[in-house]
Homo-oligomer: A and B are copies of this chain.
Amino acid sequence: MRKTIIGVIGAGQVSDTGYAVAREVGRRIGEGGAVLVCGGLSGVMEAACQGCNEVGGETLGLLPGGDAAMANPYVTLAVPTNMGHARNVIIAHTAQALIAVEGEYGTLSEIAVALKLGKPVVALNSWPGIEGVIEASSAEEAVEIALQLATGQGEA
């Protein structure tokens, strides 16, 4: 009854390639029957939500501000945490596995918190050289790994 939740992390500004990749990641998460959790804003977050929505998936947006109206249009469940960057820590707790697409300092912070919590982190053209991160070469591969590790580890 508990749904599998996969996190997608990345910056609010993204390259065209990154947008396409994140959208494909979202699509495959939805097709895999999992819920997508992200920071609910623009860029990588919006792309992933859009993809997930296109296949009828549920998208949970943990927003930094206190107003649901700030969520991107593809967030189906808006959670306005009003906790700024601390919401990244909640995303890391909520996701059973995370996929990082590109990203800057905020994404690096989230990758590090997720690893600290023992969550699997799959990277697509994101921060290089962080020990413990699993590098993937396509959206398909990234989601396949994330879903497998999320299921393997159970709910925690």
Contact = CB atoms under 8 A, between A and B. Distances in A.
Give the size range of A's interface with the partner. Answer: 35 or more
A14 interface: no
A35 interface: yes
B79 A85 contact: no
Interface stretch (A15-23, A106-114, A135-143): A106-114
A71 interface: yes
- 5 closest A-B pairs by CB: A109-B112, A86-B86, A105-B116, A108-B112, A82-B84
Interface of A: 1-3, 5, 35, 53, 58, 60, 62, 66-69, 71, 73-86, 88-90, 92-94, 96, 104-106, 108-110, 112-113, 115-117, 129-130, 132, 154-156
